[in-house]
Amino acid sequence: MKRICLIFFVLIIASCAQKPEPLVAGKDSCHHCKMPVADTRFGAELITTKGRIYKFDDVNCMIQWKAQSENKDLKFNHILVVNYFDKTDLIEAANAVFVKSDNIRTPMNSGFAAFSSEENARKLINEYGGEICNWEKVLVSIP
């Protein structure tokens, strides 16, 4: 009986863990600016320790929302950004490679696109120009 209770408890705990949900254009709205998500390539997502998911149309919106005083005490299990070349792939922002380019049209004009590798980031730079950045640089670049 104890074994059954333990298995049941583990299943309940595991079901509470929230997995990333890819953004859906036309269905999801940005939690910060409230605009419908139109281009998922530039989206971002926060998942709290309690499993709540917040979706954003641009990394700019996510950083500004997270910095607001009423949100500063929230704890997050995941800070995710959409992989530019695979719109269903959400990657940890700290592990992403970013390109900053004034020639990239992002929903809120941040000019940032995220990639899973530097090789992929360089493909975009070859097309649009720009520079490679890490997450720390993105954080200080957005007011």
pLDDT value, residue 133: 97
d(CA 114, CA 72): 24
Residue in the structure block whose two tokens are 């139109």: 38
- What digits encode the pLDDT tens for the residues 68-120? 989 989 999 999 999 999 999 999 999 999 999 999 999 999 999 999 999 99
- Rounded to whole angstroms, the Cα distance separating 31 from 48 reads 14
Predicted local distance difference test score (pLDDT) of residue 18: 83
Distant-in-sequence, close-in-space partners of 51: CB < 8 Å, separation ≥ 6? 16, 17, 18
Cα distance between residue 113 and residue 33, in whole Å: 19
Enter the pTM of the model: 0.86
Distance separating alpha carbons of residues 38 and 25, to the nearest angstrom = 5
Which of 125, 75, 76 minimizes the C-alpha distance to 97? 125
Q: Delimit the domains of the chain by residue range.
A: 2-141
